[in-house]
Amino acid sequence: MDWILQIAPAFAEAHAPALLILLPMLAGPIAAFLPGGGRVAWGMTVIVTGLCTLLSLILLAQVRSIEGGAIISYAMGGWAPPHGIEFRIDALNVLVLLLVSVIAFLTSIFGWPTIKAEIADGKRAMFFGAFQVCFMGLLGVAATGDAFNLFVFLELSSIATYVLVALGSGRDRRALPAAINYLLMGTIGASFYVVGVGFLYAATGTLNMADLAVQLQDVGGNRAVQVGFAFILVGLGLKAAMFPLHQWLPNAYSYSPSFVTAFLAATATKVAIYALVRFLFSVFSLDFAFEGMSLALILAPMGIAAMLACSFQAIFQADIRRTLAYSSVAQVGYMLLGISLGTAAGVSAGMFHLINHALMKGALFMAVAGAVLTYQGARIHDFAGLGRRAPWTMTAFAIAGLSLIGVPLTAGFQSKFALVSALLESGWWWAALIVVFSSVLAVIYMGRILEAVFFRAPTNPHKEHGEAPLLILVPLWILAIANIWVGIDGGFVYGLATDAAEALFIGGAS
């Protein structure tokens, strides 16, 4: 990674944490008022997300420049932490920053054909403005070292997301109740989180997460700390779509604009899971008995319940988007199960699956968007015969679908293998069997779709269309190839996940 530091300007290296947030923060309001029917705003969005990807690579190179991982502390306005606002970058959150930036860049390229088809001309510039605010909020959640500012960024991202989901009403009126449901559940989650932070502040007198970790060790696990932990766990669990707090997700993914679904499915719950992991292992620690009990009695059962219940629900869906939405909740279950082990291997496997799931779901929803744009239908019978009419689009869909199942030589297999290995290492053989069984359920619900795509005759043989537009195919195939690359040689990505886990269990909050 040294090459990126050799070519990066000194200003970008010195201020990368702040620039990563400031670029979309400033570009969002500007994009909302640009003329050109949204085309200029789209171009600006591609440029900004591309620059943020480069800044994330700079931060990754800086963190990995020191053996064992560096910690970058950036004090806003020169006010030193814990009293000032701090952006704190380590091996854990630099991974999330890079993931969010890359997905945002690829979905921005992919998005223009679907936006033209699904969003009214007068609303497109506002759409891209709201997207950049959403993007900025997700980056802020990952980058901040302050518990209250995490809430601020979380709400900025959420409010923009509610707008983006509601704009899907031009295609499907059900997007409006989906946005309202998302708003209500998201507000409840945010309220729980900020109340929990209030309890921690009352107990420690600080909001800086690194300082919180130190103060909590001195204060101990008193009642205020326990209540704060419980509120934060529920609040972030709701944002992460932890079963059974996931009811907002299926409709939000199914009725949003295709651009929004592809971006959210690959990033939103992942950032919430990052925040949960940050609090579990950096702010709190396994030294607190109540945390160990929460991992064993809450996260593990909820993760297993999600893997089974939502996989079964996915089997009985006729709409492909709802199938993939329920599958997303099931995949969150895999991540939570790994995290619940409370070991470096378990957290590493959970973070590895987090990355791979973003690659899978980003590709799957992009392929679905391309098919919906061209063939006007998202039910399984609408996809019958598309393997012959749109082979490039559907082959990429199949690769991502096989990765979701966990077929060897795909990214999904690598992370599921890592998870099973971590479970067996901890003696949880019964949970490893459940992971295998859940993968069999994935064979059923993805197999139904792939069978229709490649082995059924078209529903309407007289309906002739071609491939999805090139702007969709290029980012779609980048993600499809990434699924194969990680499946064949996952060393780099797994190394990032391992570094992230080691940052928690070795470096801690120091």
pLDDT by 10s per residue, the chain, length 510: 666 777 878 888 888 899 999 999 999 999 888 887 788 999 999 999 999 999 999 999 888 877 656 788 888 877 777 777 889 998 889 999 999 999 999 999 998 999 988 888 888 889 999 999 999 999 999 999 999 999 999 999 999 999 999 988 877 788 889 899 999 999 999 999 999 999 999 999 889 998 898 898 888 778 889 999 999 999 999 999 898 888 888 888 888 898 999 999 999 999 999 999 999 998 988 888 788 888 888 899 999 999 999 999 999 998 999 999 999 999 999 999 999 998 999 999 999 999 999 999 999 999 999 888 887 778 888 888 888 888 999 999 999 999 999 999 999 999 999 999 999 999 999 999 999 999 999 999 999 999 998 888 777 655 566 788 889 999 999 999 999 999 998 888 888 888 888 888 765 443
Positive or negative: CA dihedral 205, 208, 212, 215: negative
Measure the CA–CA gap between 382 and 244, rounded to whole angstroms. Answer: 31
The Cα-based distances of 296 to 216, 336, 354, 428 in angstroms read 22, 11, 20, 11
> Scanning the structure block, which residue is given the tokens 């939000």?
252
Residue 14: how many other CB atoms lie within 10 Å: 12
Dihedrals phi, psi of 73, to nearest 5 degrees: -110, 120
b/e burial code for range 271-280 (CB count within 10 A of at least 16 → b): bbbbbbbbbb
**Pairwise CA distance, residues 53 & 49, whole Å:** 6
With beta carbons less than 8 A apart as the criterion, state whether 273 and 354 touch: yes
Per DSSP, the three-state class of 7 is helix
Tokens 């708003």, located at residue? 183
C-alpha pair distances (Å), 151 with each of 189, 261, 465: 10, 23, 46
Q: Is the pTM of this model over 0.85?
A: yes
Q: What is the phi/psi pair of residue 87, to 5°? A: -95, 125
Please give the sequence-ordered ranges of beta strands (E in DSSP) within 32-186, or none if there are none.
Answer: 72-75, 86-89
Cα–Cα distance measured from residue 264 to residue 260, given in angstroms and rounded to the nearest whole number: 6
Choose among 96, 147, 410: nearest CA to 267.
Answer: 96
Report the C-alpha gap between 235 and 196 in whole angstroms.
8
Retrieve residue 22's tokens.
């400031």
Smallest CA-to-CA distance from 269 within 257, 252, 291 is with 252
Answer for the pair 411, 356: CB distance below 8 angstroms, yes or no.
yes
3-state helix, strand, coil in the chain (%, to 5): 80, 5, 20
Q: Is 76 exposed, middle or buried (0-12, 13-18, 19+ CB in 10 A)?
A: middle
Residues near 486 by beta carbon (within 8 Å), at least 6 away in sequence: 355, 356, 359, 410, 411, 414, 493
Q: Residue 486: what residue type?
A: V
Burial 428-458 (b: 16+ CB within 10 A, else e): beebbebbeebbebbbebbebbbebbbeeeb
Q: How many CB atoms lie within 10 A of CB 379?
A: 15
pLDDT attached to residue 510: 39
pLDDT at site 508: 47
Residue 379 pLDDT: 85
Nearest to 279 by CA among 146, 395, 386: 146
The pLDDT value given to residue 146: 92
Task: In whole angstroms, give the CA distance from residue 32 to residue 160.
Answer: 12
pLDDT of amino acid 187: 92
Candidates 31, 47, 37; CA nearest to 131 is 31
Decide: 401 and 450 in contact? Cβ < 8 Å. Answer: yes
Whole-number Å distance between alpha carbons of 357 and 335: 10
Number of H helices, E strands in the chain: 22, 2
Rounded CA separation 496/500 (Å) = 6
3-class DSSP assignment, residue 68:
coil
- Residues 318, 139: Cα–Cα separation, whole Å: 35
